[in-house]
Chains A and B, each alone.
Chain A
Amino acid sequence: MEAKYLIIGSSHAALEALRAIRQVDAEGSMAMLTRDVHLPYSPTILPYVVSGRSPAERVILRDEAFFTASKCTFVGNTTAVGLDATAKTVTLADGGSWRYDKLLIATGAAPAIPPVPGLDGVSYHVLRSLDDAQGLRKAMGTARRAVVLGAGLVGLHAAENLAEAGLAVSVVEMRSHVLPGYFDAKASTRIEAAFTEHGVTLFLGRTVVGIDGGKGQACTVRLDGGEALETDLLLVAAGVKPVVDWLAGSGVAIDRGVLVNDTMRTNQPDVWAAGDVAQARDFHSGEQALIGIIPTAVEQGRLAGMGMAGDSYVKPYAGGLPVNTYRFFGRVALSIGQAAAEGGGEVAEHEGPGYRRVVLADGRLVGYASVDEPFDVGIMGELIRRRVDLSGCKQDFLDRPLETGRRLMSEGWR
């Protein structure tokens, strides 16, 4: 089989690349391969599949008709296992292969499994695919107790699902606060309190020393403090790692993810990478980093697609900004940029019914986070990206960030 444009993966980065390619090249042959058996959906929606709020058939982002209209061959249930960048060929688990002119690596990330003694001997859940979500939903129906390893986005979303379903939930996190990197201690403390109020037991700054198997799905999780958490359901949510195993020996340069330049090109000719799999420029540090969120996957996918189709309007990637829009028990926590940074910048915290934390450096916004006090995340992101000088309106900005941000964007637009 062959295609001018071959896209491996069918999630956010892949779909944006398709769109960008078709904006310039309406006809060039295209194929999208994915190891998933389902039509495209977002991993982000999975907690809502677990809770039952989003029925599995309603989470599909693009249907068959879309692929027909886009003149793209969609091939599900197909795993890429190798790449020969010289022969421009991708090999598949079923023995088949695809030749390409331009290749996009958009294989995203998969759950990272920590080296915990005993973990390989028990059955546990992860949450990254639709099948994972349906499996977890099913298991949740019969279990009474659950242990979640990891208090990142995935772990907390799942813990909430489980608690709301009536299970007794414990969350174990190595670091001292939930959602590290996105929120400072004050913000995290508010989020932690909500979990505690809803009956979730948090073990923060703690490590799992071992896991013992039990009957069926049951097991016992032993912590460094000597506690033994008996559970019917174990969920591992200890972060993710880019899916790069299939690129071994291909010559594609890999650090933690696939290394890409500012147009999402890899070191191999006619091979691009985008999304959670790619290690691209970080806006703040300028280094190549992993930022596994939808906004960066979308932006990188678009740039890669433009490059693949030879779109002359492609502009170099400005770098990814961490963004987190998090709902917990109906409440809101938001974060963008270097919002949890300590030192270096100027920090203004404001605590009332809600909490906000503004980080400035050189009179410019570099990070903003809040809990129970919504703000326009996109506007703050633009102020950061454009490095807008706030020295003329700093007090206004600190006192009334929402209004001032809206004003600046409205004025800047004209």
Chain B
Amino acid sequence: MGTAFDTITFKASSCDGCGKCMTACAEAKQGAARISIVPGTKESSFELAMCRQCGDPKCVMVCPAGALAKDDGSGVVQWDASRCIDCLLCTAGCSYGGISLDSHTARVSKCDQCDGDPACVKACPTDALQWVTAGSVFNKYGDKEDMFVPGLSGCQGCNSELIMRHAMRKIGRNSVLATPPGCIPGMGSVGYNGKTGTKVPVFHPLLTNTASMLAGIRRYYDRVGRKDIVVMALAGDGGTSDCGFHAVSGAAERGEKVLYVCVDNEGYMNTGMQRSSTTPFGSWTSTTPVGEHMRGKSQDAKNLPLIMVAHKCAYVATASTGYMEDLYDKLDKAVEASFRGFSYLHIYSPCPTGWRIPSSKVIEACRMSVDSNFVTLWEYTREGGLRFTRSPDRPIPVRDYVKMIGKYRHLDDAQLDHIQSRVDEQVTLLKRMAAAPAAEPAVI
């Protein structure tokens, strides 16, 4: 596995130019700020000049003193003050103003990410600057044993494989996995010709009985004293919210100790892109076509994770592959909770084929869905109630997100307004729930 690095990210659309990052940097480094926010072309827009810790750093290549080097561990381009001869050639190598002359010291200075705790990020009041630790997450799990066969046949750009491989790397061999009908078994995880596609016991239940079967397996393991086995499903939204819902609801109500992961791609994509109850309003699917009479789906999506909250599960959370560190954090908690009761993790995962988006835009779609509140990221426990883990302070209009997705191309203004109002409604409700004090722990 290659090495990935943690990084500071900048979202220009959230920056209001307050300059607190620069002050914080200058203070932390006792010199000139190594981050520079400059006015953008448009009114009250802002741009950033800062070291990008390039993978192929030109500053390093041109340094005649060997004073710059990319650190293999952190990915930071490190500057060695004792070797530097102050020739400034590195400033000619950098295209981003990432290393420049500090007039206080008359030497070059550049961002060193404050050893993994950047002062600028902490000072940013709008979250325009963020410290993204997905790199460490990938390194940690990239080194672990992969539990699937190589060459799963997912569509190009689909995140399901990412979710599957990384979730199972984390959970490891002590697990039993159910993959009910859908894309996940469809791409080869169940196996072919009598061989499984995984290194852990895997089975292919019916759409309707996944949660019931898992409940039985867990009870058996409990009986024989194997309390260390994670009993889990990697299921689709159709099998979870429609045909398998009674089994999921029943297992949750009984408090079965099961980890249920729903990978939500908003429809039955594997069988030809039919609508499911989680398909959003207005979406084109093969059963909600766009023509003279129909303009895509005419009902709103069912909010399944919220329904699971109403079951008072041990843990309920939503996640998105756009924010892997958030996803990983929740996966940890979900696994732990599955030894105490029903644990439900709902992961939003765009379908490039069925949604009609280029494979290169999938992660961007994930991010925009969160930035517009179309997808909300939160977690729920009986003890702590509902808590947002990542919510935009200034959400972008839902239109901006919807615009990039082919299945919404036909939407008219009224439909777009409808989606926006539903998103707003949903967020208001969630915010009320988040603000309310946590419920008394249920006495079982």
Stretch at the interface among B85-93, B209-217, B228-236: B85-93
For residue A16, which residues in chain B have a CB less than 8 angstroms away from its CB? Answer: 61
- Judge whether B47 and A406 touch: CB under 8 Å: yes
Closest to B99 in A: A378
- Judge whether A325 and B92 touch: CB under 8 Å: yes
Separation of A169 and B366 alpha carbons in the complex (Å): 67
For residue B47, which residues in chain A have a CB less than 8 angstroms away from its CB? Answer: 406-407, 410-411
A389 at the interface (CB under 8 A from B): no
A254 at the interface (CB under 8 A from B): no
Measured CB to CB, the closest approach of chain A to B93, in angstroms, equals 6
B62 at the interface (CB under 8 A from A): yes
For residue A298, which residues in chain B have a CB less than 8 angstroms away from its CB? Answer: 58, 61-62
Residue from A48, A61, A411 within 8 A of B40 (CB atoms): A411
A70 at the interface (CB under 8 A from B): no
Stretch at the interface among B100-108, B190-198, B330-338: B100-108
- Judge whether A294 and B96 touch: CB under 8 Å: no
Stretch at the interface among A27-35, A89-97, A201-209, A329-337: A329-337
Residue from A295, A379, A409 within 8 A of B89 (CB atoms): A295
- Judge whether B106 and A44 touch: CB under 8 Å: no
- Judge whether B39 and A407 touch: CB under 8 Å: yes
Closest to B80 in A: A58
Closest to B96 in A: A409
- Judge whether A325 and B40 touch: CB under 8 Å: no
- Judge whether A61 and B66 touch: CB under 8 Å: yes
- Judge whether A378 and B103 touch: CB under 8 Å: no
B-side interface residues, number (CB < 8 Å): 32
Closest to B83 in A: A58
- CB-contacts of B54-74 with A (<8 A): 58, 61-62, 64-66
Residue from B12, B49, B85, B100 within 8 A of A45 (CB atoms): B85
Separation of A117 and B89 alpha carbons in the complex (Å): 37
Answer whether A407 and B38 are a contact pair too, CB < 8 Å, given A332-B101, A378-B97: yes
- CB-contacts of A1-49 with B (<8 A): 12, 16, 42-45, 48
- Judge whether A406 and B95 touch: CB under 8 Å: no
B36 at the interface (CB under 8 A from A): yes
B128 at the interface (CB under 8 A from A): no
Separation of A61 and B66 alpha carbons in the complex (Å): 6
- Judge whether B92 and A377 touch: CB under 8 Å: yes
Separation of A194 and B38 alpha carbons in the complex (Å): 33
Separation of A378 and B61 alpha carbons in the complex (Å): 13
A366 at the interface (CB under 8 A from B): no
Answer whether A406 and B97 are a contact pair too, CB < 8 Å, given A294-B89, A378-B91: yes
For residue A406, which residues in chain B have a CB less than 8 angstroms away from its CB? Answer: 36, 38, 47, 49, 96-97
B324 at the interface (CB under 8 A from A): no
- Judge whether B48 and A294 touch: CB under 8 Å: no
- Judge whether B48 and A334 touch: CB under 8 Å: no
Closest to B93 in A: A378
Answer whether A330 and B65 are a contact pair too, CB < 8 Å, given A405-B97, A407-B39: no
For residue B88, which residues in chain A have a CB less than 8 angstroms away from its CB? Answer: 325, 327, 332, 334, 374, 377
A155 at the interface (CB under 8 A from B): no
**Chain B residues near A (Cβ < 8 Å):** 12, 36, 38-41, 47-49, 58, 61-62, 64-66, 83, 85-89, 91-97, 100-101, 103, 106
Kindly list 9 other residue pairs between chains A and B, CB separation below 8 angstroms, not including A54-B85, A376-B100, A406-B49: A42-B64, A44-B89, A45-B85, A325-B87, A405-B97, A406-B47, A407-B38, A409-B97, A410-B40
